[in-house]
Chain A
């Protein structure tokens, strides 16, 4: 399609204005508010015990969720691409469920299941707390990040086909050796991209976690909860500072994402 010069410039201006108003202004405003009193004030806010605890908790959740989703994601992707079993269509559909279900609903359903009055509520009586503690937040984050690794690895598996794996088998490799030496290296960039998406989503998760956490400062408060709680407590500056830390993490993820995205499309 050929677009005349004047309309082209108009289109570009509209697109830029749209991005500017919707993305750059809010983010820029937070950065401005965070640093308007200088780096020192920012530093004081992000090194409070509550801030440090929130960062640690968020990273802890990410550190548990990522390996689980990597193992599970590769397994499901292999089953979807290579498997020949009944119910594959059903499996395809439920993998995308987290995209369709609002995180708040995920949180509520977890409470229904694991809460004191839930199906597995008995666990709480023997001292295993799921809701209002780390396991609940991990479960919530696992749920919302479940599709990423599967959906990034699946097309790569499709593309590489299974001839290389068959060749490895004829050369004497058993299933495990074939997986480590052939399959895993072949999907590595797709997998890395899926991991980065998972990390980004896990960092930013709020809806589901806010339901299953009681948000006790310094204990069960993730970074997103910290931002929200400080905001509600009218500690606006503290809220902006925490938000900036969160954005910093996200920025790292974004950069890695771009790198892996490039590699996986090139490989």
Chain B
């Protein structure tokens, strides 16, 4: 388990981490999710030992490592821009940590081949990083980090520099890899879809604080704060409360807690239909509904309807 307790970090006058505490269970894949500048990378680098916290304690597997240099922490770190050793071949990149540990040559060679097989770079041993695509470089960086059998794998926006298609493939691949090797993993991302897709736990960060930690579903369904609610998915404001557009129920007649609205536009998005509404205070909101429901109501622009929230909402 990785435990951070009461972490503070300043850059000059800027308070980048404010009393951050989090526990990351063994074998989990935890995402640190938050907008750019919220302190995700700083927290990850503090865990890695690449930055020293001003206050607080970092423990890995029960040992206080706060004052320990990165090389003593048993971690693997993957950088957004790969940090490939440009003057070394793929083989030497992956072998680096093992050579530092003075493992026997034969063992290093077989381990490197095995890892390159796992990350899908078998046959690329002799290439230089400049001869690889971005996605291949990042997989090489992953193999390099995994080679030393870290207790903890730390990934700082590892797919951030890749294009959308490659990013999606790689994150599915990362999830499968994690299911195979089970190394405790922390993934930094600002992309909520990526976090929901790969992580089994998400910690949402905002302005140097952790707002909430939990399973993706729990965060989505029971967000603790308005920030978490709006960061994890689309929202609509109904009667001064934040709700999910798909929790809005439309009806022709009045119902309990229902608000009268006018339909402005109906957008068909394949299976789903987005109904853009305007309420009595002239504020806009969108409801998401299925094709069948929309057809049953026979919604069209200009129509007057009633809308209510199906589930308890978060106080705004």
Chain A interface (Cβ within 8 Å of chain B)? Answer: 160, 163-164, 166-174, 177, 181-182, 185-186, 267
Could you say which of A167, A174, A185 has the most chain B C-beta atoms within 10 Å of its C-beta? A167
Q: Is the CB of B87 within 8 A of A167?
A: no
Chain A residue at minimal CB-CB distance from B88: A185
Which chain B positions have C-beta within 8 A of A164?
A: 83-86
Q: Which 3 A-B residue pairs are closest in the complex by CB-CB distance?
A: A171-B97, A163-B83, A170-B77
Q: Is the CB of B71 within 8 A of A169?
A: yes
Q: Is the CB of A169 within 8 A of B87?
A: no
Q: Is the CB of B100 within 8 A of A170?
A: no
Determine if B306 is an interface residue (Cβ-Cβ < 8 Å): no
Q: Is the CB of A163 within 8 A of B97?
A: no
Q: Is the CB of A172 within 8 A of B77?
A: no
DSSP majority for the A interface? helix
Q: Is the CB of B50 within 8 A of A171?
A: no
B239-297 residues with Cβ-Cβ distance < 8 A to A are none
Which chain B positions have C-beta within 8 A of A166?
A: 50, 70, 77, 79, 83
Q: Is the CB of A182 within 8 A of B71?
A: no
B85's contact among A169, A174, A177, A182, by CB below 8 Å, is which?
Answer: A182
Q: Is the CB of B48 within 8 A of A171?
A: no
B79's contact among A160, A167, A177, A186, by CB below 8 Å, is which?
Answer: A167
Q: Is the CB of A171 within 8 A of B86?
A: no
Q: Is the CB of A170 within 8 A of B76?
A: yes
Q: Known interface pairs A164-B85, A164-B86. Does A172 touch B100 (Cβ–Cβ under 8 Å)?
A: yes
> Interface residues of B, CB < 8 Å — how many?
25
Which chain B positions have C-beta within 8 A of A170?
A: 48, 50, 70-71, 73, 75-77, 145
* Complex CA–CA separation, A30 to B192 (angstroms): 74
Chain A residue at minimal CB-CB distance from B80: A163
Which chain B positions have C-beta within 8 A of A182?
A: 85
Determine if B81 is an interface residue (Cβ-Cβ < 8 Å): yes
B96's contact among A160, A163, A168, A267, by CB below 8 Å, is which?
Answer: A168
Task: Give the shortest distance, in Å, between A148 (CB) and chain B (any CB).
Answer: 23
Q: Is the CB of B101 within 8 A of A172?
A: yes
Q: Is the CB of B77 within 8 A of A186?
A: no
* Complex CA–CA separation, A171 to B101 (angstroms): 9
* Complex CA–CA separation, A172 to B79 (angstroms): 16
Determine if B122 is an interface residue (Cβ-Cβ < 8 Å): no
Chain B residue at minimal CB-CB distance from A166: B50
Task: Give the shortest distance, in Å, between B42 (CB) and chain A (any CB).
Answer: 14
Task: Give the shortest distance, in Å, between B10 (CB) and chain A (any CB).
Answer: 14
28 pairs, CB–CB < 8 Å, chain A vs chain B: A163-B79, A164-B84, A164-B85, A164-B86, A166-B83, A167-B83, A168-B96, A169-B70, A169-B71, A170-B48, A170-B50, A170-B76, A170-B77, A171-B76, A171-B96, A171-B97, A171-B100, A171-B148, A172-B97, A172-B100, A172-B101, A173-B71, A173-B96, A174-B69, A174-B71, A177-B100, A186-B86, A186-B87
